Amino acid sequence: MLRQMPEFDTVPKIYLAGPDIFLPSAAAHAQAKCALCAKFGLHGTAPFNPDLDFALPAETLWRKIYADDVTMMRASDAVIANLTPFRGASADAGTLVELGWFLGRGMPVFGYSNNAEPFAARARRQAALDDPVPGLAIEDFGLADNLMIEGSLTLPLFLPPDGVSRGFDSLEVFSRCVEAAARWFMDSAGSPRHR
């Protein structure tokens, strides 16, 4: 059972990183994630801007998206990253940049993946299709993703508890991660920027 959140100057703001923005139902998905954060006493902010003008020239648009995302990250106390493999054996590249941004500032970094398959198995399968140099070593520490990703996390990576992968847009594992992050903030003596 989740205990009462201690008093902070503000409710901890959590940047919700991940490739969820590419889902056909991205707006509804972002709202659902923010609602789950609120349920556990956190303020989730998703990098979804329904007011973006997609008629802008591509260079103007991508720069605006980048600037908006960095502004949201600067206003956040931590990140929860969707590290479910995205279009490859590992997590989304943009999400990993965001994760590194928080890590580099000494801020809490939480992550989850809906994929229960070990990283090495996914990497071997991908290497069989398009390895740039035959015979490259495959990292195999029994982890769910690259050791640098898992090593950067404040708490262990949250995975499906029964070892069965969930759909990419499932919120079950995300919910467990949010609950644990809320507990972490409670236990960190009321300091939202403590790592």
Residues facing residue 111 across a β-bridge: 81
Give pLDDT, residue 189: 56
Give residue-wise pLDDT tens across range 37-83. Answer: 999 999 999 998 888 899 999 999 999 999 999 999 999 999 999 99
Whole-Å CA distances, 135 to 118, 127, 130, 144? 20, 9, 12, 22
The stretch 25-48 carries a mean pLDDT of 96
Distances (CA, A) of 109 to 1, 65, 72, 78: 23, 22, 15, 6
146-176 tens-digit pLDDT: 999 999 999 999 999 999 999 999 999 999 9
Task: Dump pLDDT digits (tens) for 97-147.
Answer: 999 999 999 999 999 999 999 999 999 998 888 778 888 899 999 999 999
| Half-sphere exposure at residue 36, Cβ-oriented, CA atoms within 13 angstroms | 21
The confidence score (pLDDT) of residue 50 equals: 83
* Element at 124 (helix H, strand E): helix 119-130
**d(C-alpha 185, C-alpha 78), whole Å:** 10
